[in-house]
A and B are shown apart, each in its own frame.
Chain A
Amino acid sequence: MTQASQPPEGQRSLFLGLIGTPYESDLLTTTTRLAEAAVRQGHQVTVWTCGYATALTASALDPVKPRNTIAWDTRDPSPAALAAHLLEWAGGRLAWLVCRYCAEERGTMDQMPGVRIRPPYEFVQRAHAADACLVLGTK
């Protein structure tokens, strides 16, 4: 896998808060595409997941989705594999953080390698510290 290129001058930080529930909308798709584009442009990205988005990177998940009953030999990657792929591809310019409060409440404290659990108060701290912040929630 080719890693993202070296950061250019003028690197900025982007905080993406993913609060919306996965499998309900395209918020995760939007988040990953924004993160990927920002990393590709040389910026530093933090993805912070809350609620059931914390389950996307639970260590119990397989890297592939369950088999498709009408395409048995095809294996599609899971969202957990997507997070792992992005973390590796970004080469240190992407952090994937999980809210401890949400993870405790939803039983998702066991997270895959590379994903870090952080205390909930850091959400605002990190959001304010970033050059740009976008929170993708529900409405």
Chain B
Amino acid sequence: MGSTLAIIERSHRGTVEQQYAHVLWLAHGLHRQSPMIVLLRGAAALYSLNPQWESPLEIGGVPWGSYPDYRSALERLRVDGAGLLVAADSLKRLGLDDAQLLPGIAAVDDDEIVRVAAECDRIWYL
């Protein structure tokens, strides 16, 4: 079974709606069934950084649900052997090309993205 390149470009798709069920949680679930290489591009390149942990939002006087934990999802993907890439061009556009990435995530240029894509059997936009 060949790999699937999962391209994630959009970030922050509903904090109070999604909570744990965000796109990287989905990618990990898919990876457990079939090998995935995750490429973060656009605003989703922010997921490759090391954000400060966010506790649940307080809404109406109580902590509400759980805050999407992108960092842990990326760590689960890494531990389970998924490829983790971030587009260097996206980081540059965000002014983050010097930022420290989370462990196991590699910044790749466009030529490398094309090479990886050519080696994958499927390309999905998640």
- Can you name the residue of chain B whose Cβ is closest to the Cβ of A85? B60
Which of A2, A29, A74, A90 interacts with B15 by CB under 8 Å? A29
Number of A-B contacts (CB under 8 A): 69
Q: Give the docked Cα–Cα distance between A127 and B10 (Å).
A: 31
Any B CB within 8 A of the CB of A124: no
Any B CB within 8 A of the CB of A69: yes
Q: Give the docked Cα–Cα distance between A86 and B61 (Å).
A: 9
Q: How many residues of A contact B (CB 8 A)?
A: 28
0 or 1 for each of A44-73: is its CB under 8 Å from B? (1 = yes): 000000000000100000000110111100
Any B CB within 8 A of the CB of A125: no
B2 contact set on A, CB distance < 8 A: none
Q: Is the CB of A28 within 8 A of B16?
A: yes
Q: Is the CB of B59 within 8 A of A76?
A: no
Q: Is the CB of B17 within 8 A of A79?
A: yes
Q: Is the CB of B29 within 8 A of A69?
A: yes
Interface size class of chain B, counting residues whose CB lies under 8 Å from the partner chain: 20 to 34
B18 contact set on A, CB distance < 8 A: 23
Any A CB within 8 A of the CB of B62: yes
Which of B13, B64, B76 interacts with A82 by CB under 8 Å? B64
Given A65-B21, A71-B20, does the pair A1, B13 have CB atoms closer than 8 Å? no
Any A CB within 8 A of the CB of B95: no
Interface residues of B in 55-73 (CB under 8 A from A): 57, 59-62, 64-66
Q: Give the docked Cα–Cα distance between A65 and B17 (Å).
A: 9
Q: Measuring CB to CB, which residues of chain B are less than 8 angstroms from any residue of chain A?
A: 12-21, 25, 28-29, 57, 59-62, 64-66, 76
